Amino acid sequence: MAAAIQPKKGRPKAVINPDSCTGCEVCVAVCPVDCIDKLPGPEHPTMNSVCVIDQPRCIGCFLCEKICPWDAITMVPPQEAPATEAGTTAEGGGRRGSPESEARGTI
Ligand code: SF4
Ligand code: SF4
């Protein structure tokens, strides 16, 4: 059995800008460690869903950043990655002012 891929210290982390993410899930399909998930958005049916990254599991491979058709993913130094597991931008962290973003501990 192949060993699970472990994040290496110092590797960049991917963060998703929720204002640009359309929830297309292209990034979900390419992530080799399956650390991106689509957030359910039943509370906001008129809004696009967004994807989030489980930061501790991101290995910094850049695949999602390269393939995102909406340039919604940025690679940042690990110390600049969001503290939450949501994996969205530090200043955004979710659609600004939305209940979803507030629930994720970001603005
Ligand atoms: S590929 Fe980009 S736009 Fe599509 S779900 Fe991922 S982050 Fe969002
Ligand atoms: S850089 Fe993107 S594709 Fe690679 S492990 Fe991190 S979240 Fe997954």
- What span, in angstroms and rounded, lies between the C-alpha atoms of 98 and 62? 28
Instruction: Pick the residue whose CA is nearest to atom 6 on ligand 2.
Output: 58
List domains and CATH numbers for the chain. Answer: 13-104 (3.30.70.20)
> Residue 94 carries which DSSP code?
S
Closest ligand to the CA of 67: 1
Instruction: Pick the residue whose CA is nearest to atom 8 on ligand 2.
Output: 31
**Residue-wise pLDDT tens digits, 44-95:** 566 678 999 999 999 999 999 999 999 999 999 988 888 655 556 544 444 4
Q: Which helix (H) or strand (E) holds 36?
A: strand 36-38
User: Which residue bears the tokens 């059995």?
Assistant: 1
The number of beta carbons lying within 10 Å of the beta carbon of residue 79 is 7
**Residue-wise pLDDT tens digits, 84-107:** 555 565 444 444 444 444 344 333
